Amino acid sequence: MKMTFDTYELTDGRKIIFEERDQLLILQKNDIDMPVMEDLKEYLYYFPETIYVEQDGIVAGIITNGDVSRSLLNHEVMINNGFFRIDSISKVSKEYLENFFDEHFQIRSVPVVLDGQLRGQYTLIYSENSNGRKIRWNPLKRDFLNFCEKNSIYNIAISKCEQLITMIKNMQIKKELVLRSGKEIEVSFDENKNADELVVFSDMQLKSYLTKRLNNHDEIKVKYISEQDLYMECLISHISQKCNENDVKLLFVEPPVASKIKDIGEKYKNALKQRKSLEEIADDETLLMDIYGDNEDSFQFVKNKEFHNFRFLSQGLYCNLMDYQSKNMNVVGGKRITCNQPKNHENRIWFFGTCLARGAYVADSDTIESMLQRRINETYPDTFEVVNCGVAGRVGNEMNDFHYIMDTELRQGDIVICMAQYNDKTIRMLKDNGVACYELSTLFEQPNELGRWFLDIVIHVNHRANEVIADYLYKELGGIFADVARKKEKERKYFVLGDDSEDDLEGDYKNQIQDYIGQTLDEIKKYTDTLDIDYDENNMSDRIGSIVMNCNPFTLGHRYLIENCAGKVDLLIVFVVQEDSSVFPFKDRYDLVKKGTKDIKNVLVIPSGKFMISSETFPEYFDKSHLQDIQIDSSKDVRVFGKYIAPNLGIGIRFVGSEPMDKVTDSYNKALAGILPRYGVKLLEIERKVQNGEAISASRVRKLISDGRFDELDDLVPSTTKEYLLEKYGK
């Protein structure tokens, strides 16, 4: 009988899935040589997973990115046969696996090996799109065209990259790009392609192609680019150009790379080759003393294995850190704290990247950021705040870093530093876009007086290495620091690189929103005249609030929210979703809200147009039942409201009801909370009204209607809504 392995949902949104043996890449030990290791380097760049090695049907070891790096460093094939595995069926349980991944936070997959045979592997994931796989093309349209121009691409064969195809079709492209997708194109593994034709591989297609090369030693290579590389090209172009336009310095700092340190010393070369695990190092007090000496805080941090407490939180397209507080490790708002930050500052120096940037194996006071902050404070007091946005770990890669940067509010004059071990292709892309690049490997060549400065690998370093790096950055970037410090503009614009609302509001759509704002302003002014409110849309601050509601249908929960919010402002504008994609038509929903709130004097009910929760701005809202487990991107809707609706109507506060059940609405509320403050709009969440221990919701009302239980509606809907429902359904 075939053994089955379950998938486990964890309480913090993570999931442990089981991947069958036929989903994994398995190589035969006798076939692995150095050319294969070179191919694996490229494969693992796109698919950072575990490669399994077998001999005579028995698992002989694994190969990961680290094993490939060590093989290339030592010029010999190095296969890891001391890997973690599940070797007993008794260990296949939710509790065991959750504890395993928590204790071994750097591991994202663990194989199931029973009687020496590979059955599959368990993999920890954070969300469907937590590592940036979700392609977000909209802000990058111009960059895509520039990419085609630069590479003389006139014909593109695209297979199963549906988001890319849709994006191109919706663009006004002067060049004639030949689009072929799905069954219309079969990508063969030959080089008989037209010189001006580029094959764009989807993830699965690229994986198939690279696996074929690994298994068959196929030297034939087609002219291709992966969807990920194409996206990366456009993403880097967009970020570098926007930073340049807004006077933000974008820099890349490559961490120490073992193969680039010309003379690391024989003793330390052997230590890298033997590679004690982090667990073994933490348990070896003599070795810890050698690494940390008399630095008590960092010594205790590693000895107590506090590095296990770094946890990751998905923000959709990227992950940051979960908040955590202790003596030596504090994460607040998804960022590790930097010690000695000044109370006042003109600009920020942002660090993104790997565990080196995060300071994974030192106390808060010994991170590169904290050390650099101390040096800067001495020379440029009250000028810079250094911010630690390092992530890495099992979710870290350049895609994570760049999406994180895209979603960060920057200010003119800021400095953004990517400190990460990126692939050669990514570094080339950065250089091609004029990004200044620095290397740290030479800092650690012998002779030096650092002693043992790393733990298991050369990017896991101690406080002494961090001090060397901080001093280097202070000296190398001194000219940039001085230049920014000299500029004393009173007003320095804030901006977000991923804010693509300008691109969203082109042509007719932009004209329509301006017309809508004009008409709505007229209605507000007429209404405020009746309330004796001196209305000025340019100076209302916290006096005007708003709610956007679907009301499908209008319930006492909606009434409670409106009544509560109306007591907090001079005027509350209730926008009723105008999109007719709900069970109840807009006209009926609008009338029910007006009737149900007519006694609340400072409430104005207005149609939302197609600019708030509409098929134009947030189409996923109308398919919520099928998207509860999918990470959605509602940022366009939020930015249109924050950038256009709120400031033009004088709205200073947006209210929402708490959402304990609907994951799509809850995700939308979080997007509102994260983005609206950038535009000076506050978000206030109000607890939902509860009846019989359960939140009142429109879906609950619809269920009662479907079941014909109209007698149970009295405690859930106003009398005006019940009268409407009885009339509509003939009861």
Q: What would the pLDDT profile of 110-138 be if each residue is shown by its tens digit?
A: 999 999 999 999 998 765 433 333 445 55
pLDDT band for position 75 (50/70/90)? confident
Average pLDDT, the chain: 82
Judging by beta carbons within 10 Å of its beta carbon (0-12, 13-18, 19+), is residue 598 exposed, middle or buried? exposed
Q: Which of 255, 251, 256, 254 is nearest to 479 (CA)?
A: 251
Question: What's the pLDDT at 132?
Answer: 33
Q: What is the pLDDT of residue 665?
A: 78
The C-alpha angle with vertex 200 and arms to 198 and 204, in degrees rounded to 5, equals: 150
What is the arithmetic mean of pLDDT over 673-682?
81
Higher pLDDT, 486 or 564: 564
Distance CA 216, CA 77 (A): 18
Q: Tell whether the model's pLDDT for residue 253 goes beyond 90.
A: yes
Q: Is the pLDDT of residue 256 over 80?
A: yes
The first and second tokens of residue 420, run together, are 């990460």
Residue 141, pLDDT score: 65
Residue 223 confidence (pLDDT) above 60: no
Q: Which helix (H) or strand (E) holds 653?
A: strand 653-657
User: Considering only 146-160, 240-254, 321-335, 349-363, which range has the smallest mean pLDDT?
Assistant: 146-160
pLDDT for 5-61, tens place per residue? Answer: 888 888 766 789 999 998 888 999 998 999 888 888 878 877 778 999 999 999 999
435-461 average pLDDT score? 93
Q: Could you tell me if 389 and 335 are in contact, meaning their C-beta atoms sit under 8 angstroms apart?
A: yes
SS3 703: helix
User: Which residues are CB-neighbours of 675 under 8 A, at least 6 positions away?
Assistant: 635, 638, 639, 642
Q: What is the pLDDT of residue 631?
A: 52
Q: Is the pLDDT of residue 440 over 70?
A: yes
Give CA separation, 146 vs 151, 166, 462, 691, in Å.
Answer: 9, 18, 43, 57
Give the mean pLDDT of 660-671. Answer: 78
Lowest mean pLDDT among 397-411, 458-472, 501-515, 653-667: 501-515
| Token pair listed for 540 | 């209302």
Query: Which is nearest to 249 in space by CA: 441, 485, 500?
Result: 485
Across 407-505, the runs of DSSP E, i.e. the strands, are: 409-411, 415-419, 436-439, 494-496
DSSP string, 49-104: -PEEEEETTEEEEEE-HHHHHHHHHHTS---B-S---B-SGGG-SHHHHHHHHHHS
Within 13 Å and on the Cβ side, how many CA atoms surround 193?
Answer: 22
How many CA atoms lie less than 13 Å away from 169 in the CB half-sphere? 10
Of the candidate ranges 62-76, 478-492, 646-660, the one whose mean pLDDT is the lowest: 478-492
575, β-bridge pairs: 548, 606
Share above pLDDT 70 across residues of the chain, in percent, rounded to a whole number? 80
Q: How confident is the model at residue 398 (pLDDT cuts 50, 70, 90)?
A: confident
Kindly report the CA angle at 124 between 121 and 129, in degrees rounded to 5?
120
Q: Which of 124-133, 424-433, 446-455, 611-620 has the lowest mean pLDDT?
A: 124-133
Q: What is the pLDDT averaged over residues 93-117?
A: 87
Judged by average pLDDT, the poorest of 308-312, 429-433, 462-466 is: 308-312
Write the burial class of residue 581 (CB in 10 Å: 0-12 exposed, 13-18 middle, 19+ buried).
middle
Q: Is the pLDDT of residue 177 over 50?
A: no
Given a cut of 70, whether residue 504 has pLDDT beyond it is no
Structure tokens, 8:
């486990």
HSE value, Cβ hemisphere, 13 Å, CA-based, for 216 = 11
Alpha helices, DSSP H, located in 321-410: 355-358, 368-379, 398-406
Q: Are 448 and 382 in contact (CB under 8 A)?
A: no
φ/ψ of 339, rounded to 5, equals -75, 155
What single-letter amino acid sits at 370? S
d(CA 706, CA 718) in angstroms, rounded, equals 18
Higher-scoring residue by pLDDT: 572, 139: 572
**Bridge partners of 411?**
494
User: Which distant-in-sequence residues (6+ apart) come within 8 Å of 360 by Cβ?
Assistant: 307, 310, 390, 392, 393, 460
**Longest pairwise C-alpha distance within the chain:** 90
Q: What is the DSSP string of 482-521?
A: HHHHH---S---EEETT--HHHHS-HHHHHHHHHHHHHHH
Over 70: is that where the pLDDT of 188 sits?
no
Which letter does DSSP use for residue 203 in this model?
H
- Reference 673, options 402, 341, 334; nearest CA is 334
β-bridge partners, 353: 390, 419
The DSSP code sequence of 103-153 is HSTT--EEEEEETTEEEEEEEEES-TTTTS-S---GGGHHHHHHHHHHTT-
- Give the model's pLDDT for residue 562: 95
**Would the pLDDT of 506 be above 60?**
no
Count of all residues that appear for the chain in the document: 731
Q: CA 52 from chain center: how many Å?
A: 29
Q: Are 18 and 122 in contact (CB under 8 A)?
A: yes
Q: How confident is the model at residue 679 (pLDDT cuts 50, 70, 90)?
A: confident
E strand segments, 515-580: 544-549, 571-576
For residue 700, the 8-state DSSP code is H
What's the pLDDT tens digit per position in 523-541? 888 877 777 666 666 555 6
Judged against a pLDDT cut of 50, whether residue 182 lies above it is answered with: no
Per-residue confidence (pLDDT) for residue 488, from 0 to 100: 58
Confidence of residue 367 (pLDDT cuts 50, 70, 90): very high
Of 658, 555, 548, 699, nearest in space to 610 by CA:
548
The predicted structure's pLDDT at residue 666: 80
Taking the whole predicted model, whether its pTM rises above 0.85 is answered as: no
Among 404, 330, 389, 390, residue whose Cα is nearest residue 365: 330
Is residue 157 very low, low, confident or very high in pLDDT (cuts 50, 70, 90)? low
Which residue would you say has higher pLDDT here, 284 or 135? Answer: 284
pLDDT band at 101 (very low <50, low <70, confident <90, very high): confident
DSSP bridge partners of 111: 121
